[in-house]
């Protein structure tokens, strides 16, 4: 499973120049993007609905911390973004 914290922070890390400085970080981000694309394709192929949370989390991470510095799980703001994104999806799906 991809590391959500690193995926969500990927754009910030790239803008800060860390991708160029740290080859292993760049490789990890590329692997996570590959895994995400593969999983998305499998779900689509099998007609399984899913909610892509990454765009909403990426949009919010610019304004606030969504993860604790010491924990890979979202904090209350991160869970709020996740819940709101799922709620919007379910409301549109009706």
Q: Torsion over CA of 72, 77, 82 and 83, rounded to 10 degrees?
A: 130
Domain region containing 10: 4-93
- Angle, nearest 10°, between helix axes 4-15 and 54-61? 50
Mean pLDDT is lowest, of 2-11, 12-21, 51-60, for: 2-11
Is pLDDT at 66 greater than 80 in this prediction?
A: yes
Across the range 43-59, mean pLDDT stands at 93
What is the pTM (predicted TM-score) of this model?
0.76
Mean pLDDT, the chain, as a whole number? 86
Instruction: List own/partner pairs for 36-45 with CB under 8 A and 24 or more apart.
Output: 36/2, 36/7
Q: Let me know how long the chain is.
A: 94
Is pLDDT at 18 greater than 90 in this prediction?
A: no
- CA distances to 51, 70, 83 from 64, rounded to whole Å, are 22, 16, 16
Across the range 49-63, mean pLDDT stands at 89
Domain count, the chain: 1
Is pLDDT at 1 greater than 50 in this prediction?
A: no
Across the range 59-79, mean pLDDT stands at 87
Give the tokens for residue 73.
Answer: 């799980």
């Amino acid at each position: 499973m991809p590391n959500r914290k690193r995926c969500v922070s990927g754009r910030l890390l790239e803008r800060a120049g860390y991708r160029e400085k740290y080859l292993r970080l760049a490789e990890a981000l590329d692997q996570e993007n590959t895994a995400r694309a593969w999983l998305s394709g499998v779900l689509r192929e099998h007609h399984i609905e899913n909610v892509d949370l990454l765009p909403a989390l990426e949009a919010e991470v610019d304004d606030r911390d969504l993860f604790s510095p010491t924990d890979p799980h979202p904090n209350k703001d991160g869970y709020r973004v996740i819940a709101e994104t799922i709620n919007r999806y379910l409301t549109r799906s009706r």
